Structure 1
Amino acid sequence: MNNNNSNLNKYMQRDAAVLLYSNAIAGILITLIASSFLVFAFTYPEVDPFKKAWWIGMTALLTIRFLDVMWWKHKVEKTEFNGEKSIMYFVVGANVTAVMWSVYLVYTTTQAHSIELTTTIITISAMAGGSATVLAAHKFTAMFYPFILLAPGSIGLLVSDNYPLQLLGVLGLAFSIVMLIISRQSADFTRHTLFLKNENSVLIHSMEEKVEQRTRKIYELSNLDPLTKLYNRTAFLKQLKLVTAASQKPFALLFIDLDGFKKINDSIGHKAGDKILSKTAERLKDFALDKQLLCRWGGDEFLIALEDTDETSAVAQSTALIEVISKNHTVENSILSVGATIGIALYPQHATSEDRLIQLADMAMYYQKKLMRSTVGVFSEQMEKLYSYELRLKNSLTTAIEKNQLRLVFQPILGSGDIKISAFEALLRWQLDDDNIPPDEFIPIAEQYGLIHEIGAWVLQQACEQAVLWDVQQKVAVCVNVSVIQLQDEHFIDIVSDTLSSSQLPAELLHIEITESVFASDPTVISNQIKNLQVMGVKVSIDDFGTGYSSLSVMQDLAVNTVKIDRSFINKINNQGNGDAIISAVMHIASSLNFLVVAEGVENEMQADELIKLGVDYLQGFYYSKPIEVEDIASYLAQKYDN
């Protein structure tokens, strides 16, 4: 509302200036003619010097006003001029002119003869009457001009000793008062007219602005990402479609996925994450030549199309872009950084449609991220074959339990002292049609697409139910591998508790095996989960120990029950490697931290003998037994204990 009032006042002042200046030349010309007539038509030696001096002053003033009018008409009128300033220039000149006339009339009333005086009063009265209309655009000047022209001179006539002059003074003063009233009414009417005119203009302009704002808002909502102000999916696809339809030159499509963004979002908060996305978008804007070929695809993913670019140039530019994106950000007094993995698809080499190009660039990014983060990958046919295979596994895995395609096999773990069975490790197998899919292929897919929770719960339930059926002289535990994703699930402890309850398996006969990758996760969450399992009586083992994530301080905090030495170290025993030294070091650590040690992957007698000499607690591997099918476990146990 205040803005509208300000605009209304500005427009009214500009219109008032136009009205004043539009009649200015005629007014100046009439004033010049009238002043020249009165000065030179009646000549008396005793007044000539004053009249001539006055005329020179009036002419100089009118010349200045004329130049001001010319300047305004040629330099100001057609511009977005300041109305208040223009009015000020005009009214100063007009009011000074009025004062000059007033001085002339007062002087004339004391010096001139009756004919000259009468002529002067008539002339000035006529000018006063005309000013009410000509100066109506400025209220003060419209009232001041006629009043100051007549009132002082009329008062001078009133105080004279000549009765006819006194009557003329009365008439002049009465006329000046009437003109004062008329000028005021004329000025009010003019101002009201200007108000109505400009009120409508301001309202129309305000409505146009609102329409423009709403149009802009609709455009932003339909085309721009609200956080980064980059094109959204819809707008980018439209623009990319135009490029693919019209372009005869090759171009590269870059699919950009930020590395480490989720960790910032989860640990520091979404506010910091949003700032990282906004700052990354600004860097991308500076990098992109065509802002219409840049978008936020979703989450922490962005797309850029580089026109007239071949593979070599696209890889070079992508490498440079990764360096730009990876520079540090200062967010809330913290220095944060993210990397970026980029997948590239080329037009028309790889695809000619926008949807297909995006799919292939996404595919290239996905496989490059699996291979090495914060690097560049270009789409290849081999990637598509791998993707199709992975997609087949993912789709089939969703119904694998329902179709009874999953099964468990069990590999025994034996005590190194008596070679008696201590436990069985449950190993998951999947037969898809005529193919046996290795766990290292389908488990990562299950983790990636969120299927690991259902499959993991099924494995846990089946393993516990089988373990209850093992009827041997001593209790045999079952070891179940658990994904880090499962362990981080807030419902995992309840799932374990419910499984033990439904299967009736004693908690001490369940061993949960977790890989070393837990050390890369939140240690507080993992430590709490392990303690909760141990409170229930469940044992916890670290699998694949020594493959890269180990931290003695973290291991001490986690306080697991058992560590399993990875088979890669077992293979290096007495084989020009450092397997013996590493195993000895692990045994020393285990002794200090009160862990038990299992050696997995024992393939031959030499390895078994050496491990026993080193003091390993338990042995597991093909030398003792391959994984056993469920239906063969009973006979295996009977044979083992009969011997």
Structure 2
Amino acid sequence: MDKQKNEERQKFIEKYNYKLDNQPQNLRNNPWKTILIYILFGFSWILFSDKILGVLVPDPDQFASFQTYKGWFYVLLTSVLLYLIIRMDNRTVYSLTKSISQKNQELIGFSEEMIAIEEELKDNLEALNLSMKAVEAHQKYIEDIFNYANTIILIWTQEGIVLDVNQYFLELTHFEKKDVIGMKWLDLVNVDIGFKLGNHVNSIKNPSKKSNSEFAINTKEQGEKIILWSDKMLKDPVSGKEYIVSFGIDITTEKEREREIHELAFSDKLTGLKNRTVFEQEMTNWIDKKQPLTIFYIDFDNFKNLNEVLGHAYGDEFLKSYAMTITDKFSSAHVYRWSGDEFVFVQESDDEKYAIDIVDQLMKVTRQKWTISDIEYYPAISVGVTQYPKDGDDFSELLKNAEMALYKAKEAGKQQCKFYEHSFQSDVQKLIKVESIINKTLQAKEFELHYQPVFDLKLRDISGFEALLRWKSSEQTVSTGELISVAEKTGQIIDIDRWVIDEAFRFLKANLAHTSLVLAVNLSAKSLMSTKLVSYIEGLIETYKIMPSQIEFEVTEHSLIENFDLSLKVINELKELGFKIALDDFGTQFSSLNYLSKIPFNSLKIDKSYIDRVNLPGKDQVIVEQIIHLASKLGLKTVAEGIEEENQAITLESLGCNSGQGYHLARPMSAEMALKLLD
């Protein structure tokens, strides 16, 4: 519309200028034309009127009269002539005046229109100024986003030439802008060998394909940042050319965390070896590929003693050193840390002779002297071996077979290796059978306690009893010892221990509360590590109203090894309640003296293996004597286990042993017989 108005305005100006340039010019020249006509007419009249009159009027008298008439006629004629000329000029002036008046009106209208247009232009100019300010503000806003966004913005051509980058990119890479502009995209981004820029650009052009990608970019310090890119093809609105705009998010930290999580999930934090998750995955892959395998399940013998004597830091240092050594020594094998001091070793072969050779090498490497922070250590391992496909055709079965083989190796003693045999299945079935028997016995309440008297060796009087578990089942194929052994493996020993403690408290309340006798109750390793043991016993104290000082809980060195810190915590809590604590089977483990220095025992029970040889020539009597002397110095009472001869009792009394028990003094007996013996 503005364009049309401008065109009309231009046409009007051209038309108006044309008339002003023509008609007013004629008007300006008109007076001279009139005068010139009058002069020419006057001169002609003067020159020719007399001659013509002389020819027409020869008479002089008449000629004078006609001279007068001629003057009048001249005046009349010139008047008419002037009238005609003036009239013609007036018409011209009138016409011009009318035209000017009309143009005046047009000019007034045009002026009014120009004023309106000017107002409109003014409004449009103000609107344009506002729009320009808005555009400038929006442009600044876009520039701020471009420069201050915490996202990389990289603009580059389809040929791979970098055109622009934002401030965040420069801060992240420490480049200067002049260094980056004009750089090749492929020199800036780390891509795999064989990467084709054209293919990548085509994928960006194709809107149906996902344009997200992950590339690392180089930094000025020769490092790299891992970036998640989102690419978009955009067209320049001015030039019409298409450029690629890449938006990048720095995911270096997330990738590092992902790597750490992956390491935690798939590798052992202490040794760096692959863990059991990877073991299962790789085993499954090998089995799917029908790859023959030999699996070695390795467990250290008495490794927990090392942790208890020297501390866990030494144990951890040894495990790291051991893992590094066997990884280097057996580079063709796959080594995994299973848990604690257990490792799994896999060889991609089922050659039995080769497997035996590997076991020999493992034993040899392990038995060497290891120096841990200037302390010498000579470890030993037990190994269970199973093979695929001979022993099983799936992961679970092979793992179970390896565990059974290791269990058999442990049963055979230290530094043993057992290859899986199908006969081991019968042992498992027996274990399941015994587990079922234990459940039935607990439900049917077929357990009972027998009580073996403990005698004061000097007075030969009963100083207390030890509660021993027996069961009344008709099953004759399983002994009580075997039953307890299985219960310890299955965890059922906790329920058995609770029944024993409850029954012992009930017996004490009913029969011994009025005496000074002490009733000894055995605690298994699993019960000692139970966080609910103390609260359970507190409930029984409230129920039976017994004196805790009449109960002495016996713990073995083996039960302390399982978790020394937790065991010590539970023992201290029992001591705070008033119970006595005895160390059973003293002398069977090399860490006994370590326990004496850390645990507040009330008495030591000397193991039967020493008592059997106390009267034989040799060092055993000296050892027993020193144990009794040590206990006395520490303020502990001593109890000799397994006295089967009178001379053993006499010797022990002479050495200063406080108490004793054994078949020579009294066998375990039922509650009724124990009460009769007291009577």
Matched positions, count = 449
Amino acid at match of 2:384: G
2:552 to 511, 531, 541: 511
- Asked if 2 retains the 8 angstrom alpha-carbon contact of 1:288 and 1:304, the reply is no
In the alignment, the residues of structure 2 paired with residue 337 and residue 421 of structure 1 have an alpha-carbon distance, to the nearest angstrom, of 45
The equivalent residue for 1:627 is: 668
The equivalent residue for 1:453 is: 494
Is 1:235–2:277 an aligned residue pair? no
Structure 1 gaps, min length 5: 17-77, 84-186, 639-643
The equivalent residue for 1:365 is: 406
- Which deviates more from structure 2 when the two are superposed, residues 621-630 or residues 529-538? 529-538
- Asked if 2 retains the 8 angstrom alpha-carbon contact of 1:516 and 1:543, the reply is yes
Q: Normalized per residue, which structure has more helix?
A: 1
State the SS of the aligned residue for 1:401. helix
Matches within 5 A, 1:240-389: 240-244=286-290, 251-256=293-298, 280=323, 287=330, 289=332, 305-320=346-361, 341-369=382-410, 371=412, 376-381=417-422, 383-389=424-430
TM-score (norm 1): 0.56
Note the C-alpha offset of 1:379: 1.5
In the alignment, the residues of structure 1 paired with residue 536 and residue 338 of structure 2 have an alpha-carbon distance, to the nearest angstrom, of 37
Amino acid at match of 2:285: Q
State the SS of the aligned residue for 2:442. coil
User: Structure 1 residues 301, 365: closer, same or farther in 2, change over 3 A?
Assistant: same
State the SS of the aligned residue for 1:427. strand
Q: What is the CA deviation profile of residues 545-591 of structure 1, one whole-angstrom value per residue up to 9, with x for unaligned ones?
A: 22234544642543422222221222113333444323322332233
Note the C-alpha offset of 1:254: 3.0
TM-score (norm 2): 0.54
Matches within 5 A, 1:458-607: 458-470=499-511, 474-517=515-558, 520=561, 526-549=567-590, 551-552=592-593, 554-607=595-648
In the alignment, the residues of structure 1 paired with residue 336 and residue 571 of structure 2 have an alpha-carbon distance, to the nearest angstrom, of 43
In the alignment, the residues of structure 2 paired with residue 552 and residue 337 of structure 1 have an alpha-carbon distance, to the nearest angstrom, of 20
State the SS of the aligned residue for 2:615. coil
In the alignment, the residues of structure 2 paired with residue 495 and residue 426 of structure 1 have an alpha-carbon distance, to the nearest angstrom, of 19
User: Structure 1 residues 436, 577: closer, same or farther in 2, change over 3 A?
Assistant: farther
Is 1:412–2:453 an aligned residue pair? yes
User: Structure 1 residues 568, 468: closer, same or farther in 2, change over 3 A?
Assistant: same
In the alignment, the residues of structure 1 paired with residue 306 and residue 628 of structure 2 have an alpha-carbon distance, to the nearest angstrom, of 35
User: Structure 1 residues 325, 396: closer, same or farther in 2, change over 3 A?
Assistant: same
User: Structure 1 residues 577, 393: closer, same or farther in 2, change over 3 A?
Assistant: farther
Amino acid at match of 1:515: T
State the SS of the aligned residue for 1:470. helix
Is 1:612–2:659 an aligned residue pair? no
Is 1:13–2:160 an aligned residue pair? yes
- Asked if 2 retains the 8 angstrom alpha-carbon contact of 1:464 and 1:499, the reply is yes
- Asked if 2 retains the 8 angstrom alpha-carbon contact of 1:429 and 1:438, the reply is no
Q: What is the CA deviation profile of residues 514-555 of structure 1, one whole-angstrom value per residue up to 9, with x for unaligned ones?
A: 223466466665555444434433222222222234544642
- Asked if 2 retains the 8 angstrom alpha-carbon contact of 1:569 and 1:579, the reply is yes
State the SS of the aligned residue for 1:443. helix
In the alignment, the residues of structure 1 paired with residue 387 and residue 416 of structure 2 have an alpha-carbon distance, to the nearest angstrom, of 17
- Asked if 2 retains the 8 angstrom alpha-carbon contact of 1:601 and 1:622, the reply is yes
Q: What is the CA deviation profile of residues 35-65 of structure 1, one whole-angstrom value per residue up to 9, with x for unaligned ones?
A: xxxxxxxxxxxxxxxxxxxxxxxxxxxxxxx
- Asked if 2 retains the 8 angstrom alpha-carbon contact of 1:430 and 1:438, the reply is no
- Asked if 2 retains the 8 angstrom alpha-carbon contact of 1:326 and 1:338, the reply is yes
Q: What is the CA deviation profile of residues 465-512 of structure 1, one whole-angstrom value per residue up to 9, with x for unaligned ones?
A: 112222698443211011244334344333333223322322221111
- Asked if 2 retains the 8 angstrom alpha-carbon contact of 1:15 and 1:194, the reply is no
In the alignment, the residues of structure 1 paired with residue 642 and residue 546 of structure 2 have an alpha-carbon distance, to the nearest angstrom, of 28
Q: What is the CA deviation profile of residues 120-173 of structure 1, one whole-angstrom value per residue up to 9, with x for unaligned ones?
A: xxxxxxxxxxxxxxxxxxxxxxxxxxxxxxxxxxxxxxxxxxxxxxxxxxxxxx
The equivalent residue for 1:429 is: 470
Amino acid at match of 2:470: R
State the SS of the aligned residue for 1:495. helix
Highest CA radius of gyration, 1 or 2? 2
Matches within 5 A, 1:46-445: 193-195=241-243, 225=266, 232=278, 235-244=281-290, 251-256=293-298, 280=323, 287=330, 289=332, 305-320=346-361, 341-369=382-410, 371=412, 376-381=417-422, 383-430=424-471, 433-435=474-476, 437-445=478-486
In the alignment, the residues of structure 1 paired with residue 339 and residue 621 of structure 2 have an alpha-carbon distance, to the nearest angstrom, of 50
Amino acid at match of 2:461: K
Amino acid at match of 1:590: A
User: Structure 1 residues 607, 346: closer, same or farther in 2, change over 3 A?
Assistant: same
In the alignment, the residues of structure 1 paired with residue 619 and residue 371 of structure 2 have an alpha-carbon distance, to the nearest angstrom, of 45
- Asked if 1 retains the 8 angstrom alpha-carbon contact of 2:296 and 2:385, the reply is yes
In the alignment, the residues of structure 2 paired with residue 592 and residue 282 of structure 1 have an alpha-carbon distance, to the nearest angstrom, of 45
In the alignment, the residues of structure 2 paired with residue 599 and residue 451 of structure 1 have an alpha-carbon distance, to the nearest angstrom, of 30
Is 1:636–2:672 an aligned residue pair? no
User: Structure 1 residues 576, 470: closer, same or farther in 2, change over 3 A?
Assistant: same
- Asked if 2 retains the 8 angstrom alpha-carbon contact of 1:414 and 1:420, the reply is yes
Identity of aligned residues (%): 23
- Asked if 1 retains the 8 angstrom alpha-carbon contact of 2:350 and 2:388, the reply is no
- Asked if 2 retains the 8 angstrom alpha-carbon contact of 1:517 and 1:549, the reply is no
In the alignment, the residues of structure 2 paired with residue 225 and residue 261 of structure 1 have an alpha-carbon distance, to the nearest angstrom, of 25
Note the C-alpha offset of 1:307: 3.1
- Asked if 1 retains the 8 angstrom alpha-carbon contact of 2:607 and 2:641, the reply is yes
In the alignment, the residues of structure 1 paired with residue 371 and residue 385 of structure 2 have an alpha-carbon distance, to the nearest angstrom, of 30
State the SS of the aligned residue for 1:421. strand
- Asked if 1 retains the 8 angstrom alpha-carbon contact of 2:452 and 2:466, the reply is yes
Amino acid at match of 1:457: R
- Asked if 1 retains the 8 angstrom alpha-carbon contact of 2:404 and 2:420, the reply is yes
- Asked if 1 retains the 8 angstrom alpha-carbon contact of 2:156 and 2:162, the reply is no
Q: What is the CA deviation profile of residues 413-445 of structure 1, one whole-angstrom value per residue up to 9, with x for unaligned ones?
A: 122233222111101124555226445433343
- Asked if 1 retains the 8 angstrom alpha-carbon contact of 2:557 and 2:592, the reply is no
User: Structure 1 residues 305, 243: closer, same or farther in 2, change over 3 A?
Assistant: farther
- Asked if 1 retains the 8 angstrom alpha-carbon contact of 2:581 and 2:601, the reply is yes
